[in-house]
Chain A
Amino acid sequence: MATPGPAVTRPSEHTPISAAGRRRYPFLVKRPSRTWWLRTRAYRRFAAREATSLFAAAFSLILLTFLFALSRGPQAYDGFLRWLQRPGTVILLAVILVAILYHVATWFRLTSQILVIRIGRLVVPRKIVVGGLVAVWLLLSGLVLYLYALFL
């Protein structure tokens, strides 16, 4: 209710009066949930994108182990190769491959959202940008394969 007597406020700079009043108001505030990322499909997709990055990390670890083994001499290297051939490892690598492919696909989609290519007043449509990115990727992969064939 109204406070008795004329209380005079001289508005201070920058703080809207309403904001000051608002802080005393009994707002209903929901606490953010810990499982927010399960709530909608889009969030689940985001979570999948982030989770698959762990597989990319796992693959880098395997690569590092490989280099480490290489530097430790032939015995360690052979051991590493043997580990690679175990069925469990093969399954793991297959899973990693699928996850990384998924992750890569999300990145193409995201990159096309960030990258705007303008020709005059026309903006290159996102589909074409994604296509271009995929083309560059295929080209680079081809190059790697070619080099591999060259040195084999």
Chain B
Amino acid sequence: MNWFSDNVNQIALLGAAVIILATVFVVGKYIKQMKTDRSTGVLADDTWDGIGEYKNPLPMGWAITFLLTMIWAMWYLTLGYPVNSYSQIGEWNEEVQAYNKAFEEKHKNIKGEELTNMGEGVFLVQCAPCHGIDAEGINGKAQGFVDQRMTKEQVLDVINRGSAALGDNPAGNLGYPMMVMPPMMATGADAEAIAEYVSKGMKGDAPVSFAACSSCHGVDGKGLGGQSPNIAEFDEILIMKTLEHGKVGSIGDMPKFNDGRLSDIQKRAVSTYILSLSK
């Protein structure tokens, strides 16, 4: 009798018993009524296929309900449905608006570890399929974020082809105020030396030929405060620009994330997370 000690089963059995008792009682009452009741009243003159009808007055409750139903039907037909009609898309809009508002409210001042954790979550869902769950770029299939800003090959490719190595927009691909990067600002051994220097994280003395780059990227390579990409290290501006515009580089294609799938807070979170990796 183990099953009987379960109180859901007990309630179900009790319910079943109540239903059976109620049914017996109600059915019994009506059967008795059918046996003993004699209807009285004045018959109407007409019969329908031999079936007659009493001239009873309308029961008041019934008449009121009927009237109310008619009023409700009028309201529903003219106002109730057309004005308040349900729309799935409308519900989606409301849901998203309410959610975004609550999200912004809740995370208005998010920072530190909390922000990094949120960023890790976003990264694992949206970025890890290409950049790898360890953010190392899955053996060179996408940009790695841990060890190095760019490889020597990547830098050389940009030096040789300029903006064309970053996408096919002739007016600049990443959307920096300086817009485009001209090709062949350095060649041969100079280019090699610069690429070596940049790929090693711009530590130590810069090769003399780096002067060709510093006019736009700054002596420290950090992009003159957002005028051009930071080539010394990852920064938030670069990540935001990449998410907004995408990139077609020597490694491959980085798709845009500009369709609202990531909110501003989430973008900031993911970039904080990425920056925390190379620290």
Q: Are A and B co-members of a single complex?
A: no
